[in-house]
Amino acid sequence: MLLPNANAAQVSEQKIVDYLFSFAHPDGASQARFFVSLGFRPEDWQLLAEAFRQLATDQVVTKSIQSVHGTKDIIEGSIASPSGGSAQVRTIWITDEGQDAPRLVTAYPCQ
């Protein structure tokens, strides 16, 4: 199954810049090191956001979890990096209860 309403997937600047690119964030620092090593930069955060949106529209949901907040969907796949390489990542999306558009919760390298 593909991510429902993937064409409307939301990836906020705050999620990318203040979390995934934050070396000071207790949970985001390891992701920051990873994404920066691929050539992504905070000032061009839209490139990483678009890579996640592309993954959401192209790859199937590997796991779906219902919660009181909505439906969490896990999508894994390869993203192209600005440095010319690629990397396998896992993205977590949530479609909040009563909403139609999924939004990015987190992303990190596949282990």
For residue 20, tell me if it sits in a domain. yes
Distance between CA atoms of residues 63 and 96, nearest Å:
16
In a domain, 1, yes or no: no
| Domain that residue 103 falls in | 6-109
pTM of the predicted structure, to 2 decimals: 0.94
Distance CA 19, CA 37 (A): 16
> Has residue 78 been placed in a domain?
yes
Query: 75 near 97, Cβ under 8 Å?
Result: no
Q: Distance of CA 78 to CAs 22, 26, 60, 69, 75, Å?
A: 22, 25, 12, 28, 10
Mean pLDDT, to the nearest integer, of 21-28?
Answer: 91
Q: pLDDT value at position 28?
A: 85
Q: Report yes or no: 98 and 11 within 8 Å, Cβ to Cβ.
A: no
Q: Does residue 99 sit within a domain?
A: yes
Number of domains composing the chain:
1
pLDDT in tens, 35-92: 999 999 999 999 999 999 999 999 999 999 999 999 999 999 999 999 999 999 999 9
- In a domain? residue 72: yes
Residue 51 within any structural domain of the chain: yes
